Amino acid sequence: MTSTCPSLLDLGSPDPDVRAHVEHCHRCQALQHGITTPQPAEGGATPTPDDEHAVQRGAVWTASAPRVDTFLFVAVLDVDEGDVWVAPAADDIDAIHTDFLLPGDQLMFALWVRCAHTFKVLREQLNDEIGRLSDEQTDTVLTCVQTLLDGGPFTGNERFGASVIADHDPRLDAAEAFKQNTFPWREPWQLLSTADELGAVCAARRQQLGVSVSELAEDIDVDTEDWTRFEAAQLDLPASLPTARLAAAVRRLALPKGRKLLKLAAATVMRAHRPDGGGATLAFARRRQGVRHTTARPDPEELERAADRYSAALGRALGL
């Protein structure tokens, strides 16, 4: 399950309880001395999980979650823009046949990868890389995961836990409890993946929290009708919703801040923004002359630039 050890940020704390724990915990000692700080890249920037190549398939990371003061070990199975598909891992479980063992001489301490409980996290949730699976180990885990996803029978080998031989095996209940306990780590990605643009995501989250449109609009000082149109992906964001107000809504709704949220905001701009390049005046003149003309679509490149500007400004308003 989740580690009962102090978070990585607290490992060096002078607190007597933390120091006593680390003194008798081989895992914390290994983490404290074995994790290396990323070296600055050219130009002085320090690589982070947000960087394009910072997170790689097969790496084992510690992951954080909102309102949780500990971390979860995860093995990276695949990486996409803003998304990381992971298998959670633990060292304090009674392993079953779908749990893959990573030996202690590879990761500083033995760790079981829980192949039956994969999910996605945001890049921003990954904190520190503690080791890496070999290509063979990564392929083995992925084969196991795919077999489970396909619903086929799985037969492990000496690197997997013991088989379940009865429906009342207590390890099955423990596995279900583990799945429930990892929800705080799964929730951030799920919150931002209910739709392909930000308005619908905000609507779903607002309803989940039981907040009315008028209440939210009043809290963040926007017009109720404008917010309703935003949730329906019909509001021209650059023209009608300042980024400071949208940032206030993101905080009010407790949405995870990061690359994926900014990408969703850009998608909303692409849907509803209509840059005025004089086309409206020209169309009005044509109508007065009795000339019918199909409404021109906005220039895609101009739309993309507007989306990039708005999402960048939103990022600054959110402190990203």
Q: Which residue has the higher pLDDT, 218 or 51?
A: 218
**How far is residue 87 from each of residues 56, 127, 129, 240, 293, measured CA to CA in Å?**
14, 16, 14, 42, 55
In angstroms, the CA 265 to CA 255 distance is 12
Model's pTM, two decimal places?
0.71
What is the pLDDT averaged over residues 206-211? 92
In angstroms, the CA 289 to CA 51 distance is 55
| DSSP-assigned beta bridge partners for residue 173 | none
**How far is residue 60 from each of residues 72, 109, 137, measured CA to CA in Å?**
10, 12, 12
Reduced to 3 states, what is the DSSP secondary structure of residue 27? helix
Q: What integer best gives the mean pLDDT of the chain?
A: 80
Residue 37: the pLDDT is 38
Residue 174: the pLDDT is 85
Q: Could you read off the pLDDT of 67-96 as tens digits, one per residue? A: 788 889 999 999 987 789 999 998 888 888
In angstroms, the CA 112 to CA 60 distance is 11
pLDDT over threshold 80, residue 9: no
pLDDT band at 16 (very low <50, low <70, confident <90, very high): confident
> Domains (ranges, CATH) in the chain?
48-163 (2.30.30.110), 198-317 (no CATH)
